[in-house]
């Protein structure tokens, strides 16, 4: 939205606690040592160098006062004429503090790097143990059969087959287990049942143990407790099971809808507030006829909403009519290890190698920055032919006190 308003007559101030945009769909590849963080990050200042009317401030938003039209941030207060909330979503642990404390989510760069370090440390640790005590270190339980969970499971399975045995010849990789736990009766439940079936088939061929209609109840760091009272010995629970909107303090409670999302009308205006908009994962629009319970929380919806709200702001200046939002579904896709993907385009559905090429093309296209596209492309090609990228780094950081 800020880009689309670049060069317009509006003064745009973009606030973020980070100085970079992160391309979330590939965070799982950072977590599995397939990409370096910088390849999927892009500094905001570089995006907006060419627009004089867009200003970036690295600051955390602490509070909004909609009556005074004022935002409190970590760098001071700011008044606004129009406020657009695009705070996205973060992990939803459904109230389970044990899981929140001990599991590995993957919604931010920091979380993905923690997971990367942890996966590698498990194998470093397993080296000094006998088999019975190393098995829980080599067992990974992934919760959530959406694209993130499926793609991560596939990549871990590839690492088990092609990469890790070369790094750890002393370990027996027959003991490495990847379990994918999904609450509904199929993986990729937002896609067509045929795609779910293909994905399940690919996962099983990769030796991933898929547990459908199953939930994870608890995790104590050693044992994963399933809803049928079974337990799995594992020290790694990876959480890709649910998200909730990032609510901002000061927004009236009546605007809060299911999933912590902000109820908006067809123009993305937040319920009961003037000049406050919400777009993307944090917004809940129930007026779009095909999506009465709100849109799926994915990048395509967010991008289209940002564009539409920006266009409406431009229309105001020229006196043109404002346009209510309707989501155009251009398709969805997921990849499962090398060579395999499922793709659904409007009126077309396919799976396999060609789908995988389409998946790569679409994701490369979406990454910000020409250099980043090239680096990601080189990494993918390199990895495809060598099965052996040099990114298995345990980088621990210590910030200053």
Q: How far apart are CA 243 and CA 80, in angstroms?
A: 29
Q: How far apart are CA 117 and CA 108, in angstroms?
A: 14
Q: Are residues 261 and 269 in contact, defined by beta-carbon separation less than 8 angstroms?
A: no
Which residues sit opposite 277 in a β-bridge?
84, 269
Q: How many residues bind its own copies (CB under 8 A)?
A: 54
- Taking CB under 8 A as the binding criterion, the range among 207-215, 273-281, 346-354, 368-376 that sits at the site for its own copies is 368-376
Site string for its own copies, 50-79 (x = CB under 8 A): --x--x-xx----------------xx---
365 counts as binding its own copies under rule CB under 8 A: no
| Block residue for tokens 């679409």 | 362
- Taking CB under 8 A as the binding criterion, the range among 61-69, 167-175, 183-191, 253-261 that sits at the site for its own copies is 167-175
Q: Is the dihedral of CA 358, 29, 151, 288 positive or negative?
A: negative
| Nearer of residues 110 and 228 to its own copies, judged by Cβ | 110
321 counts as binding its own copies under rule CB under 8 A: no
- Taking CB under 8 A as the binding criterion, the range among 276-284, 285-293, 312-320, 369-377 that sits at the site for its own copies is 369-377
- CB within 8 Å of 351: residues ≥ 6 apart: 195, 198, 340, 341, 342, 343
Q: How far apart are CA 10 and CA 210, in angstroms?
A: 51
Among 10, 20, 28, 202, binds its own copies (CB under 8 A): 20
Element housing 299 (H / E): helix 299-318
Phi and psi at residue 396, in whole multiples of 5°? -95, 140
110 counts as binding its own copies under rule CB under 8 A: yes
397 counts as binding its own copies under rule CB under 8 A: yes
Cβ burial, residue 265 (10 Å; 0-12/13-18/19+): middle
Across 308-334, b (16+ Cβ under 10 Å) vs e yields bbbbbbeeeeeeeeeeebebebeebbb
Q: Using DSSP, how many helices (H) and how many strands (E) does the chain show?
A: 11, 24
364 counts as binding its own copies under rule CB under 8 A: no
Q: Are residues 106 and 28 in contact, defined by beta-carbon separation less than 8 angstroms?
A: yes
| Nearer of residues 93 and 168 to its own copies, judged by Cβ | 168
- Residue 374's SS3 state is helix
The interface with its own copies within residues 33-52 (CB under 8 A) comprises: 36-39, 41-43, 45-46, 49, 52
Q: How far apart are CA 344 and CA 198, in angstroms?
A: 12
The interface with its own copies within residues 207-236 (CB under 8 A) comprises: none
| Nearer of residues 289 and 370 to its own copies, judged by Cβ | 370
The interface with its own copies within residues 124-163 (CB under 8 A) comprises: 124, 127-128
| Nearer of residues 348 and 397 to its own copies, judged by Cβ | 397
Q: Least separation, in Å, of the C-beta of 364 and its own copies?
A: 15
18 counts as binding its own copies under rule CB under 8 A: yes
328 counts as binding its own copies under rule CB under 8 A: no
19 counts as binding its own copies under rule CB under 8 A: yes
Q: Least separation, in Å, of the C-beta of 86 and its own copies?
A: 20
What residue ranges bind its own copies (CB under 8 A)?
18-20, 36-39, 41-43, 45-46, 49, 52, 55, 57-58, 75-76, 109-110, 113-114, 120, 124, 127-128, 166-170, 368-369, 371-372, 374-375, 378-379, 382, 388-400
């Amino acid at each position: 939205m800020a880009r689309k308003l670049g060069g317009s007559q509006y003064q745009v101030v973009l606030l973020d606690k980070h100085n970079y945009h992160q391309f979330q769909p590939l965070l799982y590849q950072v977590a599995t040592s397939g990409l370096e963080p910088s390849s999927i990050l892009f500094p905001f200042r570089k995006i907006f160098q060419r627009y004089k009317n867009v200003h970036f401030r690295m600051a955390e938003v602490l509070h909004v006062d909609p009556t005074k039209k004022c935002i409190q941030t970590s760098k001071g207060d700011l008044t606004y004429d129009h406020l657009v909330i695009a705070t996205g979503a973060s992990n939803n642990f459904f109230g389970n503090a044990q899981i929140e404390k001990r599991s590995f989510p993957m919604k931010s760069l920091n979380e993905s790097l923690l997971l990367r370090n942890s996966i590698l440390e498990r194998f470093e640790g397993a080296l000094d143990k006998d088999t019975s005590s190393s098995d829980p270190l080599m067992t990974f339980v992934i919760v959530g059969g959406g694209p993130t969970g499926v793609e991560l499971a596939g990549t871990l399975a590839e690492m088990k087959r092609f990469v890790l045995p070369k790094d750890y010849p002393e370990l027996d990789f027959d003991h490495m287990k990847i379990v994918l736990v999904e609450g509904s009766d199929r993986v990729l439940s937002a896609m067509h049942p045929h795609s779910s079936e293909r994905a399940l088939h690919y996962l099983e061929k990769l030796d991933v143990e898929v547990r459908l209609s199953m939930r994870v109840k608890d995790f104590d760091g050693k044992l994963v407790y399933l809803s049928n009272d079974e337990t799995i010995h594992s020290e790694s629970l990876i959480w890709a099971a649910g998200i909730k909107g990032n609510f901002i303090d000061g927004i009236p409670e009546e605007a809060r809808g299911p999933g912590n999302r902000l109820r908006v009308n067809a123009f993305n205006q937040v319920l009961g507030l003037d000049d406050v908009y919400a777009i993307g994962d944090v917004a809940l629009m129930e007026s779009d006829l095909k999506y009465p319970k709100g849109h799926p929380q994915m990048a395509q919806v967010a991008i289209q909403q940002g564009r539409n709200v920006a266009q409406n702001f431009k229309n105001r200046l020229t006196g043109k009519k404002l346009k209510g939002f309707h989501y155009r579904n251009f398709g969805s896709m997921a990849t499962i290890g090398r060579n395999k993907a499922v793709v659904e385009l409007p009126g077309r559905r396919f799976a396999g190698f060609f789908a995988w090429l389409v998946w790569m093309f679409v994701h490369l296209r979406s990454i910000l920055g020409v250099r980043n596209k090239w680096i990601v492309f080189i990494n993918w090609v390199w990895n495809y032919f060598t099965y052996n990228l040099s990114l298995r780094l345990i980088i621990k950081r210590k910030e200053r006190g």
